[in-house]
Structure 1
Amino acid sequence: MPDFPRTTRRLAALRDRMAATGTDLVVLGPSSHMGWASGVHPHGDERPVMLLISRDHAGFLMPSLNADAARKDTDLPFYAWRDDEGPEAALAALLADCGATGPGLSVVLDETMRADFALRLLDALDTPRRRFTDDTVGLLRAAKDAEEYAAIKAAHQLNDAAVTAAFAALKEGVTEREIQALIEAFYTDHGAQLEFCSICFGASSAFPHHYSGDTRLTADTAVMIDTGCRLDGYPSDMTRSGFFGTPSETYEEVFATVERAVQAALAAAKPGTPARDVDKAARDVIAAAGYGDRFLHRTGHGLGIDIHEPPYIAASSDAVLAEGNVFSIEPGIYLQGAFGVRLEEIVILRADGPEIFSDLPRDMIRA
């Protein structure tokens, strides 16, 4: 069922941000931003679809052939247009109702919008000043509310069970694809959808974004499983590493180093802390162990409606962490031709530090 009160709350919060940032108009394309603000997830193609929000009005520019299907999800007005007439008149009417007709308006554009949509909008305005959503929609989305927390928690509890079942199913000769299929079936059987899944045996685990293949599991082999489902609109994401057989001393050393890096990043993550400092905390541990050049990616990414969204936990990030932020902590060490180890938690930042969504221990899983 549509949640009109939630839309009302979110639009009110957005208008508060618009007032605080001197923003006259927010323009969202058919994206997760639009879904967050309105509950509408329209079909996106070459036909212009936009949600325009001003301080006292909001409405959808929508092709007529899609408008009726979208009306059930919102009580906001539609400015529909037909293929035989084009969107210009409907857009002009929507802009007029938004009061967006004067020169030099401060306009926030959805950074994920198609370029032709954005240019059409900007061409319809008089010398607008434009920026992206970082301090409006993006900032609000980054602070998860109680409903979002509950949805993300439920997705992670299901993910815990799926990963546990996957490690329990490891046996000599099984392929990466077969374990991925087991995980996908587990999600489906429990009312979720596969968001992504990377099953990595042996040297495959040295590739951070390995695609599950036909590699068969053999004795004394490293295993890394990075997977997530989508449940009730929100995703999970978790990586666990383990060993099928007896791990080598090198594997145990690398695993212990990655675990220390996770702990260092968790300890560094506090409201008001620059995201880059959390990345540095993890990276310093791995560098001190001699594997600095084998940590091949950032320490984390935000998670919400999108599996990857701000804040990004990276050395290049200017973000400052805030209470309610949800993000990953996932340092890794990758030894080409041998194995890789990554341990990933998704956390929500509380006043006193991070709370981990997963209940599955990070201990080395031995199968």
Structure 2
Amino acid sequence: MSERMERVQAALAAAGTDLMALGPGPHMRWLLGFHPMPDERPCLLLVTPARAALLMPALNAAEARQHTGLPMLEWADTDGPQAALGRALDALGTRTARRLALDEAMRTDFALLVQRALPGAESRLAGALMAPLRMRKDAAEQAALRENAVIADAAMEAVLAAMAPGVTEAELAQVARAAFREHGAQPLFTIVGAGPNGAFPHHHTGDTPLREGDAVVVDIGARKGAFSSDITRMAAVGHAPEGYAAVHAAVEQAVQAALDAARPGVRASQVDRAARGVIEAAGYGAQFVHRTGHGMGLEPHEPPWIAAGETTVLEPGMVFTIEPGIYLEGRFGLRLEEVVILQEDGPEVLSRLPRECRVV
């Protein structure tokens, strides 16, 4: 049995949870090192405090056995999954399960299948059990995140080099995607917001051309292997717009305040408070409209959340973004983003690119 499986089973026992059901996705991948191709056929990793088994569509069973030695209850399209699920519950001794944890990211019909098989069980989300285990990244996971950050730096440099008056947001997004693919990474998102479009934090990149005096937000990320990248930098076309320098200074100070606050033993909300306090003091509190950051790992957004009210105590090995922003409707937006690995002595910033505005 793997060390990760032992940790999950211990967490189930401590929480008094009789059964956890995970679909193909990040939780299953973290626990087994793989997951079968997700489709409409119910595929479930079933874990109890003492045992584990897989409910597996027959067409995926042979390949799955190359990755795991767990007991496998197969079902064929002609039969459906219900009987095989019943056999799995019998084998695991969970026909009378009272507390059930369901993968929050799996298909609703998978969850309903399990709930109908255990009509008396109280359901909760598996993330409450899995997140504390997944948040601390081991050495191999940290190395993969560093590799992805190097690729993101190269893609950002390519975008900045391609900027010029008349070039469209969409054309710059294509430059980012091509640079990511050149380095073996699969693009996940390419946000380019020119001028007033930058005031929309999740702007849908379009055909807006860059114009003299535009501030441009570039927020890009991609995945190589199991992990991904995320970086935001700013540029100005010819010159920055009026008032930009003071806003950039406030956001940069907020990044620094959050980096200074991010230490083992500190609550996630304290890091958010450090960044938000700087921006509020500069008079832009109402224009900082999102949390300061999010965790990263097998998912581009996962716990810990660096936000107000978050009680998670930060620990070494946790990975998260620090990305305060100020958004001035009709004028421009400004966000600066770093991915950090929290080490014993503080945050390790993965990007090597400076955060000053690049004039192009």
The TM-score normalised by the length of structure 1 is 0.93
CA distance in 2, matches of 1:272, 1:335: 35
Give the C-alpha shift of residue 43 in structure 1. Answer: 2.8
User: 1:234-245 residue pairs with structure 2 within 5 A?
Assistant: 234-245=227-238
| 1:160 corresponding residue in structure 2 | 153
| More moved, 357-366 vs 339-348 | 357-366
| 1:4 corresponding residue in structure 2 | none
Tell me which of 16, 26, 29 is aligned to 1:22: 16
User: 1:91-170 residue pairs with structure 2 within 5 A?
Assistant: 91-104=85-98, 106-125=99-118, 127-170=120-163
Change (3 A) 1:209 1:103: closer
| 2:316 corresponding residue in structure 1 | 323
| 2:192 corresponding residue in structure 1 | 199
Tell me which of 173, 181, 185 is aligned to 1:180: 173
| 2:6 corresponding residue in structure 1 | 12
| More moved, 313-322 vs 161-170 | 313-322
Give the number of aligned pairs. Answer: 360
| More moved, 217-226 vs 130-139 | 130-139
Matched position secondary structure for 1:230: strand
CA distance in 1, matches of 2:70, 2:80: 21
CA distance in 2, matches of 1:283, 1:29: 37
CA distance in 1, matches of 2:183, 2:321: 24
Percent of aligned positions that are identical: 48
Gaps of 5+ in 1: 1-6
| 1:57 corresponding residue in structure 2 | 51
**8 Å contact kept, 1:103–1:126:** no
Give the C-alpha shift of residue 311 in structure 1. Answer: 1.1
The TM-score normalised by the length of structure 2 is 0.95
Q: Does 1:293 align with 2:293?
A: no
Tell me which of 37, 41, 46 is aligned to 1:47: 41
Matched position secondary structure for 1:136: helix
Give the C-alpha shift of residue 249 in structure 1. Answer: 4.8
Gaps of 5+ in 2: none
Question: Match of 1:246, as an amino acid?
Answer: H
Question: Match of 1:95, as an amino acid?
Answer: L
| More moved, 47-56 vs 208-217 | 47-56
Give the C-alpha shift of residue 126 in structure 1. Answer: 6.3
CA distance in 1, matches of 2:337, 2:97: 48
Matched position secondary structure for 2:2: helix
Matched position secondary structure for 2:131: helix
CA distance in 1, matches of 2:326, 2:119: 52
**8 Å contact kept, 1:261–1:331:** yes
Tell me which of 303, 306, 312 is aligned to 1:313: 306
CA distance in 2, matches of 1:215, 1:249: 20
